[in-house]
Amino acid sequence: MSAPQLAWLPDPSLITTGHLWDQRLSQAKDAAPDWDTLLELARYNLNFIRTMKLDRVLTRQFPEPPTHLAVKPVRLALLGSSTISHLIPSLRVAALRHGIWLTVHTGEYGSYRQELGQDDKALKEFAPTLILLLLDARHIAGFLPSNADQATADMACQEVVDSLLPECWRDAKSRYGCPVLQTSFLPVFPRLMGSAESLLPSSSANFITRINSLLPDSCRRHGAILVDLAAEATRYGLEAWYDPSLWWRAKQEIAPSAAPVFGELVGRSLAALAGRSSKCLVLDLDNTLWGGVIGDDGLDGIELGQGSPLGEAFVALQDYALRLSRRGVVLAVCSKNDELNARLPFQKHPEMILKEKDIGCFVANWNDKAENIREIASRLSIGLDSIVFVDDNPFERARVREALPMVNVPEIPEDPTLVPDAVAAAGYFDLIELSSEDLNRSDQYQANLQRQFLQESATDFNSYLSGLNMTLVYGPFDSTNLSRITQLINKSNQFNLTTRRYSQDDLTTLMVDDTAFGLWFRLTDRFGDNGLIAVVIGRDADEGIVEIDTWLMSCRVLGRGVEEATLSVIAAQALARGAVALRGIYLPTSKNNMVADMYSRLGFALLEDNGIRGKIYILSLVGRSVKQTSITLSSES
């Protein structure tokens, strides 16, 4: 039985910076606590034993979260119906891999309904920010009578997906005020009728299959987040996940050898909840998007398209990339090539699926690829940790990992037929839900490149801004925009004055809070819709003062007067609430230095300078003159 692997991560036995993985862990164990070193060690293909070793160092060095992390710590309550304690180290290490500090509370064996349905002292004291409900298939199959006819089987399915599970989710949200992750169920039962299993209403195997098919819709309707364990078991084979002897001896449904991959599945959900899903796929060209070297082999000599097994495999990778693009992932090219040669297949090869219009940023030269990736991030105004870099050359992969450890660089197989599955298995682009903003993101970045071209061709900056015909549309928080608002709040780090994080439930509560207000902002111009680009939360503070609790913006719209226009809207909102002044807070982090002096630039007076603990500013609204911008304001309230 082979264990499931984190195969997109490099082998820990490979020499990295002169030391084997085990030696580096031993050095880290005896050194001063260093989060970044442990994070780097987590980004390897670790088995259960190495995961346990790393977790011991992690929990000893960081019993509390580091103060510099941009992502809120997560307090995870793991509740289940079987033995689950062996999964905890893998959960913590997977969270570390995604830059998240995690602490875990486990409930009593099989007591999940009591812990969720009534006040549980231990769980209350733990105060979870997230609950993971991990129920075993035999427990779920217990709701199906052994002599069930079709009507009885249908009722049992309905009881699980419309009653048992939703009640657990509702209790978790109402009692502990946090989101719930729900796993699907491993297909552990032997079939009684083979391919005709669905004809037998009392079949436990068929019952679990039906429950798994109904679960995604139930999660969507009731606000739970699905962790699709069954899909992973299908991918690797049940034997890789489930060992009957461990079930009957220890009631471990998930085998310890599968724990690292289970932890990674949950870690991806944590990352998606924190807005840390990757946004950009950067692709090499030669021997990645086609076979051969375009500069040497020419347009007719590269291997691409029908009639060749490898040529069809390269087409499959392009098709996969294009489908990612259509669901909102920005595509970029980073190639060591003459640019004219590099663009030629996109322009003239009849079998190319990807076209130039599909590429948000095209960089082809002979420079170091790490520097070119920095350039791509700069042009697209995204963080390096939002990028996934795919290259067939192991040297280039190692170089980018070393120079840019925040960039995601999957290991890919030498066989091009296996590359799409390898990239997909890494889960870098996993989302909790899909918004209209996600679907339009690729078009937005394309339009932004057109704006850059206009700026470069304009005679002066003011004429450039006027030529954009910008309109800033704004409105109060609403259910339509709530998903995107939550996403922005939890992933924006650079233009973010306080970097306070709020869940969707927190924001739903804020929407009915008379002492606070939330505003979203959307910017349109002659090239299209930039999407939802800013979020502001204000709170009534001292008499006559509104405090700006949260102010964040997308970096791609900076320098266009949007800050001044947004402040005008905030000031008007505060005046309507009877305020005479705005109070602004700046809380410094390792990533938001770009807004360290923003309040000063906008005319606020400094009240307090508390160094690393932040600054407090004040702006009088009495007789305030409004700075004119090239932006038209439009309210949707």
Give the helix/strand (H/E) hosting 214: helix 204-222
With vertex at residue 521, the alpha carbon angle to CA 520 and CA 523, rounded to the nearest 5 degrees, is 155
pLDDT average, residue stretch 5-12: 91
Q: Is pLDDT above 50 for 95?
A: yes
Three-state secondary structure readout of 424-480: HHHCCCCCCCCCHHHHHHHHHHHHHHHHHHHHHHCCCHHHHHHHHCEEEEEEECCCC
> What token pair was written down for 403?
């120079």
Cβ atoms 136, 80 nearer than 8 A = yes
For residue range 415-445, list pLDDT tens digits in order: 999 999 999 999 999 988 766 665 565 666 6
Rounded to whole angstroms, the Cα distance separating 31 from 68 reads: 19
pLDDT of residue 525: 83
Confidence at residue 17, expressed as pLDDT on a 0 to 100 scale: 47
The residue with greater pLDDT, 467 or 49, is 49
CA nearest 520: which of 559, 545, 492?
492
Amino acid at 219: C
3 state SS of 403:
helix
* pLDDT value of position 384: 93
Query: How do residues 170-217 score in pLDDT, each as one tens digit?
Result: 999 989 988 999 999 999 999 999 999 999 999 999 999 999 999 999
Helices (H), 277-331: 294-301, 309-326
b/e map 466-490, b = 16+ CB within 10 Å: ebbebebbbbebeeebbbbbbbbbb
- DSSP-H helix ranges across 469-617: 482-491, 504-511, 562-576, 598-601
Asked whether the predicted pLDDT for residue 142 surpasses 90, the reply is yes
Distance CA 323, CA 408 (A): 20
pLDDT in tens, 242-271: 999 999 999 999 999 999 999 999 999 999
| Mean pLDDT, the chain, integer | 90
Split at pLDDT 50, 70, 90, the class of 526 is confident
The reported pLDDT for the residue numbered 341 is 93
Whether the predicted model's global pTM rises above the 0.85 cut: no
Distance CA 404, CA 210 (A): 45
Share of residues in the chain with pLDDT > 90 (%)? 71
d(CA 152, CA 202): 9
Facing residues of 363 across strands?
334
**What sections of 79-203 are H helices per DSSP?**
88-97, 112-117, 121-126, 137-141, 150-159, 165-176
* pLDDT attached to residue 452: 58
Task: Give the pLDDT score at 424.
Answer: 92
Q: Rounded mean pLDDT of 564-582?
A: 94
* 288-323 exposure pattern, b = at least 16 Cβ within 10 A, e = fewer: bbbbbbbbeeeeeebbbbeeeebbbbbbbbbebbee
Q: Is the separation of the CB atoms in 173 and 222 below 8 Å?
A: no
Report whether 281 contacts 332 (CB < 8 A): yes
Tell me what the mean pLDDT of segment 377-403 comes to.
91
Sign of the CA dihedral with 195 first, then 200, 204, and 208 last: positive
Which pLDDT belongs to residue 34? 94
Judged against a pLDDT cut of 50, whether residue 459 lies above it is answered with no
pLDDT recorded at residue 505: 83
From 83-97, 390-404, 471-485, 555-569, the region with the lowest mean pLDDT: 555-569
Return the structure tokens found at 50: 């190495």
Q: Sheet harboring 545-553: ordered strands across?
A: 605-609, 615-620, 581-586, 545-553, 528-540, 516-525, 470-476, 631-635
For the chain, give the percent of residues with pLDDT over 70. 93
Q: What is the mean pLDDT of residues 60-79?
A: 92
Which pLDDT tens digit goes with each residue over 304-339?
998 888 999 999 999 999 999 998 899 999 999 999
Using pLDDT thresholds of 50, 70 and 90, give the confidence band for residue 275.
confident
